[in-house]
Amino acid sequence: MAGPPRGPAVKRCVIQFGGIGGMRIGATTDARAIVIERRQADLRAIGIFIVATLLIMCHRFVYDNWLAEFDISTFFLPWYGIVGESIRAGEIPGWTNAFSSGAPVAGDPSSGWMYLPVMLFFSLMDVAVAFKAMVLFQVLFGGLTTYLFSRMIGLRPLAATMSTMAFAFGPFLYGQTQYATAACQVATWIPLGLIAIELALRTPRTLTMVAAWALAGVAVSQMAAAWPGQGMMNGLLFIGSWLAYRALVSPPAPARSWRRRVVVAGATGFAMLAIGFALGAAGLLPRLAINAQSSIPNGDYSAVIGGDYEAERHTLFTLVRETFLDRVHYRPLSLSIVVIMLAVVAVLMARRRYAVPYFAGVVAVSCLLTMRDNPVHWLFNLLPEFQKIHEHSPRRMIWVTSLAPSMLAGAAVQVLPSWKGRKWAVQFALVPLAIVVIVGVYLAFHGWWVNEWLILGALLTTAFVLFLVLPDTRIPVRFRHYTPRAALIALMLLAFVTPIARDVATSVIGPHGDGVRYLARTDSYQESIDTYLGRADPGGAGEFLQRQQAQSAPFRYAGYAGRGYFGELDSYSERRLEPGVSAVLTSGRPARLGLDGIQGYSPNHLKYYVEYFDAMNGASQDYHWLDAFSSPLVRSPLLDMLNVRYIVVDLTINPYRADVMSIAETRREVFRNEVAVVYENADAFTRAWVVHDVRPNNDGEGLAQLASGAADGRTVAFIDGALPEVSPPAAGAVESVTITGKENNRLSADVVASAPGLAVFSEVYEEGWKAWVDGEPIDILRTNHALRGVPIGPGEHTVEFRYEPESIRIGLLISGVSGAGVLGILALASGRWLREAVTVRILLPSGGVPARPRPVRGIPGGSFGAGDVARLHRDP
């Protein structure tokens, strides 16, 4: 029988394996058994994490009041649902008719377009189940990649499990089921980015390096798809700083020259960004195009109301309060007391090992960046666009950096056993407790008190740490037989119990106060969730409007629950749980019911439509929302021009209040139940009409004339740009526009005109729309400030609109080509890795033992390939 394969490739593999693991040929122990045993330690750790995740997520799936959270229920669920439905239908989610008289979907920064978990789960499942599946995936993926990264930098299975648990079940999980959905989507991919950088800097092989670049590109593309702008910037700063740290401060291959390290790091950074932006082009390009047309172009919030709503910086007190206090509301920001204390232990005891200086620096810098101006701000403000983006919401920097303290906790678990009996060990072990005491006194001085759970957690953590570092002679005899491993496991269990297991118990047993309401399951919240996600509205205004929609020409509606009345500024998103607010079909309800609304909630509204809406309302509002106030609902030519045929009013408002009475007196009631009344607007325009009097808009002057009634929009149109040729119709001529087809991305109409004129469509203008008249392409004119107009000649014509922005077409091409390339590279690299893994098994006889790597001060280095098995699976 032929022997094992030989040749240069095999020789390289043997050398690599020996270099990493320190192969001792001739040893008596079976190396293969050792490797298997070490592998089993990893499998046990991963299995424990998966089981813990499934248990926690089973609770989250059943006790799901969190689906009624502000952004989740009123933004993410309906918008992700639109994306999923479009993909299921084989279409690109370019546009939706549900919100803001028409709004871009692919171009919305938070719509979920090109974020792979959203596109997968929401195209296969109902929205509520899909959101839960997305959270489950993110916890598993983020946790498993954290474990792999921890092992790569030298942490043993138990320590890596601590890092994984601390990250996956800390702010990362709580943020996904509270108010940090997009931030946690960014954080999901940071460990993968760190892994990819580590691979790229370690390997001497071109193919492996390119594959690592591809993995880093995937991470970047997903961060960009989840939260373009601040989230992507913060995520890139995290992984980019790791690249700089490993290349310049703690190189994995110190034998390489300084020049070589800089070249590899520079190439890695460039390739990571290039591949990431190429993969995400189908999402980034439409968002850039829409942002340029939005009310916050290029992220400039200076001209909008509410642009500084989160601009307040942390003080030392607020930072300490939100980091330490054991409150459910702060969970997406705060850390477990166990993790905090272990992070301090890591700084004192691990020192330069396991990248502790880097992760401690990330924690310190991210905290300083949330505070008032300091030298750290001056340094980061040198980065292009950083200051403008960061100042919008400085505190959000912490939202994506929770991995750093988690890695410090793992490093502490790694080094604690080695400090048993050493000088200063006891003093170092007591430092975290002293810090907790000082913090407790400081918070009490400001009127905030730490609870008994935080105190108990701090005392137990200190006890376990002392058990690990005290000499055996200082430990009572009856406790000495407990191994250090038992204390480490106890620490990990304590980190798990505090706070997540306790929150689970509270949500199941009660009481369900404000602090725990989103972790519970209560009838009122479940009713609200069912209402907002329902496809029908039995006995309600939604059912009435659906019937009218099936029987008549297209129309829009407006919902009113008192916003804008004498300074009532709370948005309908904030008041979503009120029966009257949900009854008037606001927030995400039009998307679920298949209706066309004029209102909307998004961080990125189209500028011209916002200006139109402000002119209609006679006032501006927070840039996130477009809600109709009472005055235009009483009488407004601009409201009529938006094809608003029905107005839904909250009946829980005092019926004798002036705003409600005014609407009732000027509109005809057509439907009523216990919580809502529907009025018909007899003055509403049809969806499209023909005019023969065309005038220049002159930067909004025409809009002002339409709003005041000085010009009649049924006969006059105001154009931005060159005026088309028109002529008056013959006396008594009959003209019409009939909508023959209406979908999200398409609209068709038959037009009859007696003379050259302009067909005005009550559809929002956006540069991505294309028009054809009788099959011939024609330019769309921005009409009446925010609508669309198409010049037409006399006679009968067919007009067709299609939403086909170049940004989506080009982006899809770039993403498709780059995606195919990435898949090909990863397939080649995986095939090579598997072949070498098989070769290693053949060449690993029973006499070869990979020796335990000698202790090092930095992070173990070397190339990463099949030979890394020996190092990654060292004894736990």
Q: 520 lies in a domain?
A: no
Task: Kindly tell me if the per-residue pLDDT of 309 is higher than 90.
Answer: no
CB within 8 Å of 857: residues ≥ 6 apart? 352, 353
Provide the pLDDT confidence category of residue 876 given band limits of 50, 70 and 90.
very low
Mean pLDDT (the chain, rounded): 88
CA–CA dist 765, 290 (Å, integer): 12
Cβ neighbour number for residue 14 with a 10 Å cutoff: 18
Q: Is residue 92 domain-shared with residue 154, that is, in the same domain?
A: yes
Are 247 and 124 within one domain? yes
For 160, residues 6+ apart whose C-beta sits below 8 A from its C-beta are 45, 147, 150, 151, 410
**Which tokens sit at 84?**
């999923």
- The pLDDT of residue 473: 65
The whole-model pTM stands at 0.90
Per-residue confidence (pLDDT) for residue 843, from 0 to 100 = 54
For residues 668 and 717, membership in a common domain is answered with no
For residues 477 and 554, state if they share a domain.
no
Which pLDDT belongs to residue 175? 85
- % of the chain at pLDDT higher than 90: 69
pLDDT at 2 over 90: no
Mean pLDDT lowest for which of 125-134, 252-261, 264-273, 396-405?
252-261
Q: Answer yes or no: is 457 within a domain.
A: yes
Say if 638 falls within a structural domain. yes
Same domain? 588 vs 564: yes
In a domain, 3, yes or no: no
Checking if the pLDDT of 140 tops 80, the result is yes
**Structural domain ending residue among the three candidates 804, 831, 852:** 804
pLDDT at 677: 98
Q: Nearest 10 degrees: CA dihedral of 274, 275, 279, 280? A: -40
**Per-residue pLDDT reduced to its tens digit, 807-826:** 999 999 999 999 999 999 99
For the chain, the distance separating the N- and C-terminal CA atoms, rounded to the nearest angstrom, is 39
Q: Say what the pLDDT of residue 767 is.
A: 96
Measured distance CA(398)–CA(403) in Å, rounded: 10
Mean pLDDT value across residues 470-491: 75
H or E element, residue 751: strand 746-753
Our count of domains for the chain comes to: 3
Residues 645 and 698 placed together within one structural domain of the fold: no
Average pLDDT, stretch 442-460? 89
Tokens of 46: 């991963």
Residues 280, 412: one domain?
yes
In a domain, 411, yes or no: yes
State which of 663, 680, 697 marks the end of a domain.
680
The pLDDT of residue 536: 96
pLDDT of residue 841: 58
pLDDT in tens, 191-235: 999 999 999 999 989 999 999 999 999 999 999 999 998 999 999
Residues 568-595 pLDDT 10s: 788 899 999 999 999 999 999 999 999 9
Task: Report the alpha-carbon distance of residue 448 to residue 770 in Å, rounded.
Answer: 59
Identify whether 569 is part of a domain.
yes
Same domain for 546 and 492: no
Same structural domain, 623 and 743 = no
Q: Name the range with the highest mean pLDDT among 29-33, 112-116, 259-263.
A: 112-116
Kindly state whether residues 730 and 756 are assigned to the same domain: yes
Least Cα distance to 162 among 459, 415, 416, 413 occurs for 413
Do residue 674 and residue 715 come from a single domain?
no
Rounded to whole angstroms, how far apart are CA atoms 233 and 345?
30
26-43 average pLDDT score: 70
Residue 443 in any domain: the answer is: yes
Same domain, 662 and 773: no
What does the pLDDT look like over 45-76, one tens digit per residue? 999 999 999 999 998 999 999 999 989 999 99
Q: Which two tokens mark 585?
A: 């079909």
Residue 27's pLDDT is: 44
Indicate the pLDDT class of residue 474, thresholds 50, 70 and 90: low
**Whether the predicted pLDDT of 873 surpasses 80:** no
pLDDT at 871: 39
Residue range 405-429, pLDDT digits in tens = 999 999 999 999 999 888 898 999 9
The answer to whether residue 715 is domain-embedded is: yes
In a 13 Å sphere around the CA of 668, the CA atoms on its Cβ side amount to 7
Domain boundary residue, one of 457, 492, 509: 509
The percentage of residues in the chain with a pLDDT greater than 70, rounded to a whole number, is 90
Tell me, what's the pLDDT at 22?
38
Write down the pLDDT at residue 171. Answer: 86
Name the amino acid, one letter, at 434. A
Please check whether residue 428 is in contact with residue 380, taking contact to mean a CB–CB distance below 8 angstroms: no
158: containing domain: 35-509
Q: What is the DSSP letter of 68?
A: G
